[in-house]
Homo-oligomer: A and B are copies of this chain.
Amino acid sequence: METASYINFTFILFIVLFITAYYWYPQDKLDFQGCSESTPCCTSKNRFSSNSGLASETQIHKLKVGTPQHPLDPLTVREINKVRTILSSYEPFLSSFPPIHFLSLDEPDKQRILGWNQGDPLPPRKALVLALLNGQSNVLTVDLELSRVTSHEIKLGAGYPMVSMDDISAAIKVAASHQELNQSAIARGVPLSELSCISPSPGWYGPDEEGRRVIKVQCFSSQDTVNFYMRPLEGLTITVDLDEKEVVKFIDKGRGIPVPKATNTDYRYTAQEKPPEMEPLNPISIEQPKGPSFSIENGHIVKWANWVFHLKADQRAGMIISKAMVRDSETGVLRSVMYKGFASELFVPYMDPDENWYFKTYMDAGEFGLGATAMSLVPLNDCPRHSHYIDGIFVSSDGKPYVQPNMICVFERYAGDIGWRHSEVPVNGFEIRESRAKVTLVARMAASVGNYDYIFDWEFQTDGLIRIKVSLSGMLMVKGTTYRNVYQIPKQEEMSIPLVSENVIGVVHDHFITYHLDMDIDDTNNTLVKVHLVKEETLPGESPRKSYIKAKRETVKTEEDARIKLKLYDPSEFHVTNPSKRSRLGNPAGYKIVPGGNAASLLDHLDPPQKRSAFTNNQIWVTPYNRTEQWAGGLLVYQSRGDDTIAVWSQRNRNIENKDIVLWYTLGFHHVPCQEDFPVMPVVSSSFDLKPVNFFESSPILRAAPFLEKDLPVCRPADGRF
């Protein structure tokens, strides 16, 4: 991450006012008239067909102020305002209303949700609130029915909640008024009006910065480019106390390193002077003239093909899928697959021990929020034409609601791929040419955590498979250097310093996205089964073969046995099964997790960032369901010390056999930058699958219809000319 901030002083003030003004909706006088085309703060830009079964814009408008329809629906604008009102008159907050760092639905107990049916009254609506008071993290529950705070805990251990936009703005303001920074900028030839600063989190590295909330500030030149990330003032780091609002440390060691030039850094289409050196492409589009086949009921219940699930935006996790159910291909009954799935943490360690770099070991979800940084998606480019957009309703540090517009898109995807096929070669008597096109449903969001953009996809297939994909784009976090070419670098042959432009090093780094996957295969009680692929040697005379692979099922009984590192030469499949739900053949119903390309963290387990992100010590963990164990790195991640991670929880070595279990999977990327990553990075993706194994009695897509020419749309070019 690296939430970016701009340091034109009057501008900062404007921004703060802007957030306050735009995103404050008085409870009873909700008025969207203030929104304009360029600041679409109000409504999802959806393209509704009248017969598509989707909610109209009016309905969506109502949802924001109206009543929730499902116990998992996020807090509405009205509910958030009510929470604020309750907190305002809460005795401990009377003297001073504390900054709110998280305010979201406190989900009802799982059993309550599972017992709830459409039409039942909603369980009491509650809010979970993280607030800072006197430098301490306060965790409160507010009951909206009782109109009062029902629990209030002051966390005495390490760790703070996510920083707020106000924190960032304030930190940058503090740094910017620091005279030494100004002197250094001027000495480096950067006009103060062109200084753009970002606010990396400090991590945690022992006692130096303990006991107070601090943040780092680093600055760049935005002269002649919007891509200030490529123009670092290297070696300059200001540590700011977020609560005292003062500079606590100032490092300025890189004055000899030139600020890299702006040339060829601007990535905006409007800033390009030369045309691309490739043939232009004719228009291409995924077309659905009868509209998409999904519906989104009450703004959150997505229904498509054989799937039903609840989808919502979350300020921290970005996007949460709940109660994913798939229709049985034989009985037509909806069956539970997953109670809850979301990106629980995102760990991004940079690989440079330099005093201006060592701390860059971000935990973006818990430090900055994947939802908080998920901007409006760009129609037609981020999502295809017939997408449906969903807003997030989040809370700013003053406790007021604001809208993150068009934050999630939902669309049907047809990529020219095949669902299943078979042909027979002509020597047999069967003239077989059977093939089915694959159409899927995607829910997508993109978090712009400073320089990096993370695109999160949940893709649902009609064969019961769920593909979870992360795509990375955006800008590199680069380091200024005196080197203009590799020949100037000592030990040139080793080239361990990736030079991506003149005076610009792309620092090596990793990304790890850890998913919380609360699988409920048919019911809550599930078991992890390892299907271990073992080489067996034949006995002399047994067979002309010397060896073969045997698939051995092993029930995993404890958390310890469920700490899994993937091994190419000692492979297993990992099934979450329901031992009580058997197919007609007696196979337990299950879903397996199917890893794709992956990378592991190589850091020392005692290295502070690895301790804090110890959830990346394995690719797979399984824990028994525990309401409080949602966040892989802990509830309070900012400056945390690693005492509330999966690695700690799972040390209890709880029994996980035939229990309500949660599967955790970490998707990793190593990134050694290259010149193609400058000035903007083409998307790199990886994914993993949740795939049914003996969940269905037989192939659930056997009876799917083929595409026929007669059903496909009739299209003409926009300009009418073919």
Contacts and interface: CB of A to CB of B under 8 A. Distances in A.
Q: How large is the interface on A (under 10, 10 to 19, 20 to 34, 35 or more residues)?
A: 35 or more
B380 A712 contact: yes
A604 B716 CA distance: 59
B412 A284 contact: yes
A246 interface: no
A289 B715 contact: yes
A437 B377 CA distance: 12
Nearest to A275: B703
A715 to B, nearest CB: 4
B682 A168 contact: no
Interface in A122-147: none
A385 B715 CA distance: 12
Interface stretch (A76-84, A111-119, A152-160, A490-498): A490-498
B453 A422 contact: yes
Contacts of A413: 415-416
A538 interface: yes
Interface in A275-323: 275-293, 303-306
Contact of A718 (B292, B380, B711): B711
Contacts of A573: 670, 672
B545 A608 contact: yes
A382 B283 contact: no
Interface stretch (A67-75, A548-556, A629-637, A643-651): A548-556
Contacts of A94: none
B226 A550 contact: no
Interface of A is mostly: loop
A172 to B, nearest CB: 8
Contacts of A464: 676
A51 B328 CA distance: 48
Interface stretch (A4-12, A247-255, A516-524): A4-12
**Copies of this chain present:** 2
A499 to B, nearest CB: 5
Interface in A370-396: 373, 375-385
A353 B545 contact: yes
Interface string A406-436: 0000011111111111111111111111111
28 contacts: A267-B422, A276-B306, A276-B703, A276-B704, A278-B306, A281-B293, A283-B713, A284-B293, A285-B286, A286-B287, A287-B715, A351-B550, A353-B543, A375-B433, A381-B437, A384-B414, A385-B712, A420-B473, A420-B682, A422-B475, A494-B553, A533-B602, A547-B603, A587-B675, A674-B692, A675-B698, A676-B693, A715-B715
Given A290-B722, A508-B551, A551-B672, 14 more contacts: A165-B427, A282-B292, A291-B722, A351-B550, A378-B433, A420-B683, A422-B453, A545-B607, A565-B569, A571-B670, A595-B597, A675-B694, A675-B696, A710-B718
